[in-house]
């Protein structure tokens, strides 16, 4: 059977996801709802950003950020499986090329990242915010989720302990959430912050996903090759790391 290793890994992860689906759904629903209430209805009520009302600006940003959190969140799961339950050894012992481990986990990260997308799409309907869910949005979203699942995979395999993982989250993921244009346009930031934001993949995926979702949003098509380039580079890094990984 083609890609039996990647399929097996995906099956394992999704069987485990089913066991904790309610918890995952709640985690994906609560945090964006709070941001929506605090920023959308609190701080940003009646405000206009980039020619649209703030809620229309915020919802695509929240969708991108929350789906990033879930896709990148596979890092914690791989970490627990590697350092605590040691089930990751099963992947290393199996007769499969190691890039199939990357494929299976990335595929799972994408699946997990789709959960908050569905929830926030529901919020947009409830809030009466018209978003455009088209083919370009799907393409941008898949690229975005694959990039952050790969980042999660790389982080999980690069750290030496569970606490190192928390450090990465504190110094990379949290700043990325606040500086990549989720809540306000990067262009409004001081020059130094704009330079830092330019290093974060979330800045590019937020801009692209927001443009594909916002009615009459002008899509910068050059963002597609940038994200594809990031995806390829991250996949190559992941391949190198997984080839060298030891228990």
Angle at 207 between CA 201 and CA 212, to 5 degrees: 125
Q: Tell the smallest beta-carbon distance from residue 46 to other proteins (Å).
A: 47
Distance CA(177)–CA(69), nearest Å, equals: 9
Identify which of residues 157 and 176 has a Cβ nearer to other proteins in the complex: 157
Distance CA(90)–CA(140), nearest Å, equals: 33
Specify the stretch interacting with other proteins by CB under 8 A; choose among 1-9, 117-125, 138-146, 159-167.
Answer: 1-9
Distance CA(109)–CA(13), nearest Å, equals: 9
4 binds other proteins, rule: CB under 8 A: yes
Identify which of residues 97 and 175 has a Cβ nearer to other proteins in the complex: 97
1 binds other proteins, rule: CB under 8 A: yes
Identify which of residues 19 and 126 has a Cβ nearer to other proteins in the complex: 19
Residues in region 74-103 near other proteins by CB under 8 A: 85-87, 89-97
Q: What are the helix and strand counts (H, E) for the chain?
A: 12, 2
Specify the stretch interacting with other proteins by CB under 8 A; choose among 14-22, 33-41, 51-59, 207-215.
Answer: 14-22
Pick from 6, 118, 20: which is nearest to 73 by CA?
A: 20
* 3-state class (DSSP) for residue 136: helix
Name the site residues for other proteins (rule: CB under 8 A): 1, 4-5, 7-9, 11-12, 15-16, 19-20, 85-87, 89-97, 246-247
């Amino acid at each position: 059977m083609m890609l039996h290793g990647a399929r097996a890994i995906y099956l394992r992860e999704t069987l485990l996801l089913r066991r904790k689906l309610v918890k995952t759904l709640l985690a994906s629903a609560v945090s964006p709802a709070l941001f929506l209430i605090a920023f959308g209805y609190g701080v940003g009520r009646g405000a206009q950003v980039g020619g649209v009302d703030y809620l229309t600006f915020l919802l695509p940003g929240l969708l991108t950020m929350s789906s990033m959190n879930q896709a990148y969140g596979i890092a914690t799961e791989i970490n627990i499986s590697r350092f605590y339950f040691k089930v990751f050894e099963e992947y290393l012992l199996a007769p499969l090329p190691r890039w199939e481990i990357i494929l299976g986990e990335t595929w799972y990260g994408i699946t997990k990242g789709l959960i908050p997308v569905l929830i926030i799409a529901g919020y947009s309907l409830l809030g009466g915010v018209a978003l455009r869910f088209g083919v370009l949005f799907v393409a941008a979203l898949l690229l975005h989720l694959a990039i952050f699942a790969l980042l999660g995979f790389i982080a999980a395999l690069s750290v030496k302990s569970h606490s190192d993982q928390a450090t990465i989250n504190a110094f990379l993921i949290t700043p990325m959430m606040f500086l990549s244009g989720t809540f306000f346009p990067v262009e409004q930031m001081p020059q130094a912050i704009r330079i830092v934001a330019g290093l974060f993949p979330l800045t590019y995926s937020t801009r692209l996903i927001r443009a594909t979702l916002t009615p009459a949003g002008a899509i910068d098509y050059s963002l597609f090759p940038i994200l594809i380039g990031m995806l390829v580079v991250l996949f190559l890094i992941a391949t190198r790391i997984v080839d060298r990984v030891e228990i």
